[in-house]
């Protein structure tokens, strides 16, 4: 693979691929970032999401991913949004799972209408899996943060995209509020 000129540092990676697709957009200070604004960014995302060995970055794959990301974002706002569901289902219609028995073990392969559907289909299918626990897909509790996460904590108490990012900022803000309250008391 050719070396890319710049790798853009995302504040949060490592979430399941559907959530990780949403997290290609983030806000730093007042600046909005979108990793999927270029083919280089797409190649980086395929690397970071673990899809790179299977799928290639191309303009068609990027188009499919952007419409999938938009559908996912709308479905998190309203899980019953019929247009967003139709958009997601249209993506899912471009792949099908073939199951078989392989030397005594269950195996499956996914077949796509075209390879360019691979990344979008994989993210859409992952979203269906995550929807088994719908309350665990959440947005960061910082209103200024647009990141999402899939809460795998035992009690489902995760609030922040990351403790080192928004979690720390909230802690510092509470600390300052207490200090101010102490001074005026
Ligand atoms: Zn956050």
For 26-45, what is the mean pLDDT? 96
Distance from the CA of 117 to the center of ligand 1, in angstroms?
30
pLDDT in tens, 86-128: 999 999 999 999 999 999 999 999 999 999 999 999 999 999 9
The pLDDT of residue 185 is: 58
The answer to the question of residue 154 being in a domain is no
Q: Give the pLDDT score at 65.
A: 98
172 in any annotated domain:
no
Task: For residue 179, tell me if it sits in a domain.
Answer: no
Cα angle, residue 25 at apex, residues 21 and 27 outer, rounded to 5°: 150
For residue 62, tell me if it sits in a domain. Answer: yes
Q: How many domains does the chain have?
A: 1
Q: Please calculate the CA angle 52-125-140 and round it to the nearest 5 degrees.
A: 85
CA of 118 to the centre of ligand 1 (A): 29
Q: Model confidence over 44-93: pLDDT tens digits?
A: 999 999 999 899 999 999 999 999 999 999 999 999 999 999 999 999 99
The answer to whether residue 152 sits within a structural domain is: no
| CA angle (22, 3, 20) in 5-degree steps | 10
CB atoms within 10 A of CB 81: 15
Q: Which structural domain, as residue segments, surrounds residue 24?
A: 17-132
Give residue 126 CA to ligand 1 midpoint distance, Å.
22
30 CA distance to ligand 1 middle (Å): 13
CA–centroid distance, 1 to ligand 1, in Å, is: 32
Give the predicted TM-score (pTM) of the model. Answer: 0.90
Q: Is residue 8 part of a domain?
A: no
- Report if residue 77 sits inside a domain: yes
Q: Does 30 reside within a domain? A: yes
pLDDT of residue 181: 84
């Amino acid at each position: 693979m050719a070396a890319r000129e710049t790798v853009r540092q995302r504040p949060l990676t490592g979430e399941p691929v559907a959530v990780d697709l949403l997290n290609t957009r983030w806000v730093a200070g007042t600046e909005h970032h979108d990793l999927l604004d270029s083919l280089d960014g797409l190649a980086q995302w395929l690397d970071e999401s673990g899809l790179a060995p299977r799928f290639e970055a191309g303009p068609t794959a990027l188009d499919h991913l952007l419409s999938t990301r938009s559908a996912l974002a709308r479905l998190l706002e309203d899980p019953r949004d019929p247009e967003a569901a139709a958009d997601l289902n249209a993506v899912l219609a471009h792949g099908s799972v073939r199951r078989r028995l392989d030397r005594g073990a269950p195996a499956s392969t996914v077949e796509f209408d075209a390879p360019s559907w691979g990344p979008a289909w994989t993210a859409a299918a992952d979203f269906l899996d995550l929807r088994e626990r719908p309350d665990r897909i959440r947005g960061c509790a910082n209103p200024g943060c647009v990141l999402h996460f899939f809460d795998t904590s035992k009690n489902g108490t995760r609030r922040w995209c990351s403790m080192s990012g928004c979690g720390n900022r909230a802690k510092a803000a509470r600390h300052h509020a207490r200090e101010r309250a102490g001074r005026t008391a």
